[in-house]
Amino acid sequence: MEEFRFPFPGRELADKELTYDPCYARVPEQDRAAIVEKAWQKGSAAAREVFRRQNGSGDFRAIVQNSGLQLNEKDSDFVAGGQRYFSDYISGQKCVNLYRKAIELWAQQNALDYETAVNLILSHEYFHFLEVTELGLTSRDYTVPMVQIGPVRLGKTGLRALSEIGAHAFARTYHDLLRQKEAQEDGTEL
C-alpha cells in the first residue's frame, strides 16, 4: 500500500491549534491539555460511530448528500483575513460550500488529486454538521468569561479551536479506519 501523508493536523499538533484561539489566554494552563484531549476524543469517537453506521464507506460526497446537506461547488478561492478557506458548513442553510480554486491549490500542495482533497475536506465539514445535529458544539464544551475585570466575570464564550480539533480528529480517525479496512481487504500491513 502506498504511503499516505495525511494533510490535516494530527493529535501531536492539536495543542498548538488551541493556541490559535482568540480566547486562549483566558484558559487556565492546567486545563489546556485536558480540553484538547477531550475535543480530540470526541471527534475520534464520532468517526468510529459514523464509520460503523456507513458500513465503512469512504465516499463523503454521498455521506454528506445522504444526510440531507446540499453541496455547492464554487469556482473561487476564498481568502479572508489572510486565511484561505476551502469550505464551510452553513448550518442554517443545511449546505456545505466548496471553494474549488482553494481546494485545487491545497490538493496540489499536498500531492492529492482534486476528488481525494474534496473527500478529506468533506469529512472535516461533516463533523461540524454532526456537532449541530447530534453531538453538541465542541466549541461550547469548555467556556471562558467574555470579560474579566479582577474577580468579576461577565458572560461566557466557547473556544472555536476545540471544534477544529474535533473535526481534525474526526477526519484523521475516519481515514485511518478506511486505510485499515483497505489493508485488510488487500491482505497488506499498514
Cβ-contact 96, 64 below 8 angstroms = yes
pLDDT-derived band at 189 (thresholds 50, 70, 90) equals low
| 30 or 83: which leads in pLDDT | 30
102-111 average pLDDT score: 92
Asked whether residue 79 carries a pLDDT value surpassing 80, the answer given is yes
Segments in 54-159 forming alpha helices (H): 60-66, 100-109, 114-130
Distance CA 142, CA 72 (A): 32
Amino acid identity for residue 126 in this structure = Y
Is residue 27 within 8 A of residue 18, CB to CB? The reply is: yes
Over residues 58-69, the pLDDT tens digits come to 999 999 999 999
Is residue 1 over pLDDT 60?
A: no
| pTM of the shown model | 0.90
Q: Report helix, strand or coil for 68.
A: coil
- Tens digits of residue pLDDT in 174-187: 999 998 998 888 87
pLDDT over threshold 50, residue 3: no
**Percentage of residues in the chain having pLDDT higher than 90:** 72
Only one residue has cell 492529492, namely: 112
* CA angle, residues 148, 149, 154, in degrees to nearest 5: 40
Nearest to 122 by CA among 49, 171, 77: 171
Beta strand ranges found along the chain (DSSP E):
70-74, 78-80, 83-85, 87-90, 95-99, 143-149, 152-158
- Among candidate residues 88, 98, 170, 81, the one with its CA nearest the CA of residue 134: 170
Q: In whole angstroms, what is the distance from residue 95 CA to residue 88 CA?
A: 8
